[in-house]
């Protein structure tokens, strides 16, 4: 190193003799190779190199040159480039992790379903040629103007896997009263047979003693008497419709529902007013509650209505007439299942609220179903629209490895982000306020 210093000093002071120039250029080449090797090793170590590795390029070593300023500038530039490279690598790392996680979920799902799979050649075809009402329902229908091509009614492709049940569902007397077969219809929908074919039968009349819903605004907080399937909301609790959350259907004064989303704890529990405050007053006007967890009974819509926000409530009705419960309150239930594209136009919603749900619309964790769902939410939100993730449940490692990168990938921008440990083993919650950006 001493020789090197000497040579370099001499080099700067007087016009160097040719021999020395060769020495110097050799030194420079060595130095460059040294730099390059280190740069490569830092890059290869995939962004995990501690910042200390970069310190060796700081002007401390470089001060030996008289011409150190330009060299320092070069080194600064190299440092900057390295830092940028490392940031990019970290980004790539995150993306690779997301992709890995998604791939794993996909493979898990495939191997789990493999034993039940139909042979590939018959995978998407009927076991038997459809006949009768089923054939009529899925055949061509002249829908448009005279002379236009006939349309084919929509039918979920998963229906071919449940042909026996579907044929049972389509066995009815045309023009008569529809059979009482809601459980069958639900089983088909949950199996992904969505939409179901239409039927030419009349919806069943209400049972004796049908009670008209209470008038607004009292209906918002009147416990519905759903006489079609239950005597009162206790049947919903028995059906396990709300994940063991009795309080989720308790609309009485002093009950949990009355005060829901009233207080903001600065952590996972956001208040309605804090969420609405993210936008100028009055600009959040229409929304969709995808529900989940304790948010099943339309209460978000009931609490938003006095704030001037019209919210429709997605109900999956997994074994209990929640739709009737929501409708009796004077709120709009919409049928949305996890297998379905959201039944809304692109770029229309000011707000989408989604809580955690077991086997519900917002699949917990970070699977492919979640990715499809998030892209669809992004689609229906208007630019500047808000997605309120409310106690979204996942495993601890998924918070940073899967869910957060997935939200970034879909394109959401974080306005607020909170994570916290849940009660179960390695159960974490994410609450977040995200926006669909303007560009
Ligand atoms: C190199 O960057 C440091 C800050 O990172 C700065 O103080 C210094 O002036 C820079 N040197 C040159 C030669 O640009
Ligand atoms: C609901 O009906 C059951 C009987 O079916 C009754 O025992 C229960 O007290 C009722 N609950 C309410 C809140 O009315
Ligand atoms: C929003 O506007 C309404 C009507 O103009 C007003 O009553 C209300 O107090 C406002 N809310 C806030 C938080 O400013
Ligand atoms: C996720 O990452 C943040 C910041 O890197 C960290 O503070 C947090 O503890 C991580 N969360 C989990 C659940 O690992």
Residue nearest to atom 10 of ligand 3 (CA): 281
pLDDT (average), residues 28-57: 46
Q: Kindly report which listed range (147-151, 329-333, 370-374, 388-392) carries the lowest average pLDDT score.
A: 147-151
288 has pLDDT over 90: yes
Q: Give residue 237's pLDDT.
A: 63
Query: Residue 56 pLDDT > 50, yes or no?
Result: no
Residue 73 CA: nearest ligand 1 atom is 13
Ligand 2 atom, smallest distance to 234 CA: 1
Q: What's the rounded mean pLDDT across residues 153-169? A: 91
Residue 151 has pLDDT above 50, yes or no: yes
Nearest ligand atom owner, CA of 399? 4
Least-confidence region, from 19-23, 72-76, 223-227: 19-23
Stated length of the chain: 439
Nearest CA to ligand 3 atom 6: 281
What pLDDT does residue 46 have? 43
Distance CA 74, CA 39 (A): 14
How far is ligand 4, taken at its centre, from the CA of residue 417, in Å?
A: 11
Closest atom of ligand 3 to 276 CA is 13
Q: Is the pLDDT of residue 156 over 60?
A: yes
Residue bearing the CA closest to ligand 1, atom 2:
76
Mean pLDDT of 195-200: 91
Q: Could you tell me the two tokens for 401?
A: 């490895």
Lowest-pLDDT choice from 8-12, 62-66, 195-199, 211-215: 8-12
Span from the CA of 72 to the centroid of ligand 1 (angstroms): 7
Give the closest residue (by CA) to ligand 4 atom 5: 400
Say which ligand is closest to the CA of 282.
Answer: 3
Sheet holding 286-291, edge to edge: 332-335, 310-315, 286-291, 349-355, 381-395, 427-435, 413-421
- How do 349-355 and 140-141 pair as beta strands? unpaired
Q: For residues 79 and 406, what is the distance between their CA atoms, to the nearest angstrom?
A: 30
Ligand sitting nearest the alpha carbon of 230? 2
Question: In whole angstroms, what is the distance from residue 156 CA to residue 395 CA?
Answer: 32
Closest residue by Cα to atom 1, ligand 3, is 281
Residue ranges lining ligand 3, Cβ < 6 Å: 281-282
Q: What's the CA-to-centroid distance between 152 and ligand 3, angstroms?
A: 49
If one residue of 232, 238, 249, 325 were mutated to test the ligand 2 pocket, choosing by the most ligand atoms within 8 A of its CB, it would be 232
What is the pTM assigned to this prediction?
A: 0.68
359: how many CB neighbours lie within 10 A of its CB?
Answer: 11
- Report residues whose beta carbon is within 6 angstroms of any ligand 4 atom: 396, 399-400, 419, 428
pLDDT exceeds 50 at position 55:
no
pLDDT for residue 195: 87
Residue 48, pLDDT score: 43
Binding-site residues, ligand 1, Cβ < 6 A: 69, 72-73, 76
Question: Which ligand has an atom closest to residue 306 CA?
Answer: 3
Q: Which of 1-5, 90-94, 294-298 has the highest mean predicted lDDT (pLDDT)?
A: 90-94
Q: Which ligand is nearest to the CA of 73?
A: 1
pLDDT band at 18 (very low <50, low <70, confident <90, very high): very low
Max avg pLDDT among 50-54, 93-97, 157-161: 157-161
Give the pLDDT score at 7: 33
């Amino acid at each position: 190193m001493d020789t090197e210093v000497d040579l370099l000093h001499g080099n700067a002071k007087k016009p160097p003799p040719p021999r020395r120039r060769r020495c110097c250029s050799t030194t420079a080449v060595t130095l460059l190779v040294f730099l390059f090797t280190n740069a490569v090793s830092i890059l290869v170590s995939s962004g995990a190199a501690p910042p200390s590795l970069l310190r060796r390029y700081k002007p401390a070593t470089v001060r030996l040159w008289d011409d150190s300023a330009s060299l320092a500038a070069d080194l600064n530039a190299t440092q900057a480039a390295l830092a940028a490279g490392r940031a990019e690598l970290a980004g790539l790392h995150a993306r690779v992790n997301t992709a890995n996680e998604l791939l794993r979920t996909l493979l898990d799902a495939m191997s789990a379903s493999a034993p039940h799979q139909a042979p590939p050649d018959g995978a998407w075809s009927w076991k038997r040629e459809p006949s009768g009402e089923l054939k009529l329902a899925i055949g061509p229908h002249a829908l448009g103007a005279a002379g236009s091509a006939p349309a084919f009614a929509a039918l979920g492709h998963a229906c071919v896997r449940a042909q026996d049940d579907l044929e049972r569902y389509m066995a009815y007397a045309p023009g008569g009263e529809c059979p009482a077969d809601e459980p069958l219809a639900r089983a088909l929908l949950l199996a992904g047979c969505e939409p179901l074919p239409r039927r030419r039968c009349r919806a069943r009349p209400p049972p004796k003693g049908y009670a008209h819903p209470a008038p607004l605004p009292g209906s918002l907080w009147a416990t519905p008497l759903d006489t079609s399937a239950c005597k009162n909301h206790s049947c919903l609790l028995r059906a396990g419709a709300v994940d063991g959350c009795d309080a989720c259907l308790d609309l009485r004064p002093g009950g949990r529902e009355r005060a829901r989303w009233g207080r903001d704890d600065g952590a996972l529990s956001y208040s309605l007013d804090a969420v609405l405050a993210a936008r100028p007053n009055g600009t959040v006007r229409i929304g969709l509650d995808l529900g989940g967890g304790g948010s099943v009974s339309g209460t978000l819509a009931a609490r938003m209505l006095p704030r001037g926000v019209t919210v429709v409530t997605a109900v999956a009705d997994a074994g209990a007439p929640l739709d009737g419960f929501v409708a009796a309150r004077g709120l709009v239930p919409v049928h949305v299942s996890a297998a379905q594209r959201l039944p809304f136009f692109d770029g229309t919603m000011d707000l989408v609220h989604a809580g955690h749900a077991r086997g519900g619309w917002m699949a917990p964790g970070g699977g492919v179903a979640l990715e499809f769902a998030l892209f669809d939410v992004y689609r229906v939100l208007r630019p500047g629209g808000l997605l309120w993730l409310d106690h979204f449940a996942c495993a601890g490692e998924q918070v940073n490895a899967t869910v957060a990168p997935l939200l970034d990938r879909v394109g959401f921008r974080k306005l607020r982000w909170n994570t916290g440990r849940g009660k179960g083993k390695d159960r974490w919650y994410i609450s977040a306020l995200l926006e669909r950006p303007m560009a």
